[in-house]
Structure 1
């Protein structure tokens, strides 16, 4: 865990946290229930988490020693995919399940490549909304907004006035579902949710997706992960490659296709020790 001074040293320019010593969590926040976004923040070495989040995260790390590495690699995938989308000419980004902002966030990467990029962050956790809005107040480059909504209700997201003001759905959008769908159960309509979002996008839009899988884990580890996340505000639903591929629908996967997370466009890069243990898939697809 980093202290305030150490964290400040990792961020430069406008990217400074607005947190102060007298910061208090939003009143509606259930601090005694682990939340995946705050657990992810802990994996990344952040400080915007609570005892319940840290305890659950440590139980995951005990079962999956490369959990922290997986979180970092997922963050790197996000950065590469966003830069790729911006370089293709996409200027609108819809990031659902944003998580607590950190260095390398969607808006930072997209607007570095294309200062006119427009970004909408969506999350349902009050602490994410609080910190995202505080961060954006100190980051005036480009157009970025934050809305509170739940992935399980795609209509509410698509009809939100903040989204409609920021994004023109008749033009290409990069829809980002990065490490979020594995917290939506099949019975909650995971496939239908993604299909509704895909349908709303214009041709030339991209779907940027990463998803946890059981394919690279032992049954005992899968059982341990499932048990820990069952106590959190959202369970972990690990899916195999075929199930993850189904979320892309009729979108066309771009090279290198749907691959193990550390392998997405990392050609020529030295992969870190333990990368083979990162049990997740990643891919980017375009709407014909």
Structure 2
């Protein structure tokens, strides 16, 4: 059974529509897929409706990836199996969208001072129906040939301490956990192996996430070394956190793929252990 609990559509910084994402998941023989766009659930109903029309069975779990601030780090918390129609939850996510818009305007203003004008309008055009993210700004700068690639955008302009960086005012990890659980979902620490922090800080992050009432953590995600996988699995066990796995798929590329290499270590309890998963071919 292929389970992938972390993916994105064009409703945030993914490149595919919900329909295109589901088609690709079918091609990769995924059985259970969670769509977890950044701070929005706007693509969920479209995905559910499209999947209901398909002959091949696949279960779509409503999800979201909530941005939080923790000790000057941007930490992402997945909300899995949430009630995506809960009015309180939707109102709370709207706060995050407003913060994204505020940050985007300030980034655009700073880029203009650096001689790169009108980035916001082009970023909005790229985002379309989706949330504005730094990835959209990066795509504009690459398309304009201001820099050669995404990495250069963040190293020169959008990364911490750079000319156009704007510190976001995200909610706390504790607030994100509360939002998710009050919407009936499970709170999962997203891609802990990818944060730019020392192992000491990573251990502190996992410990504080568990103390905040978090339910689980991604112990399997893309680009992890065997040593990193073992470290994450050990920390999940140490703090009695359920294990989750997800590709963090954004668009077709040679590095990440839906449902690929996501098997969990046998000693861990999966986050879906008490869910009714019906999509078994």
Q: TM-score, normalised by structure 1?
A: 0.32
**Which structure exhibits the higher relative contact order, with contacts defined as CA atoms closer than 8 Å and separated by 6 or more residues?**
2
Q: TM-score, normalised by structure 2?
A: 0.33
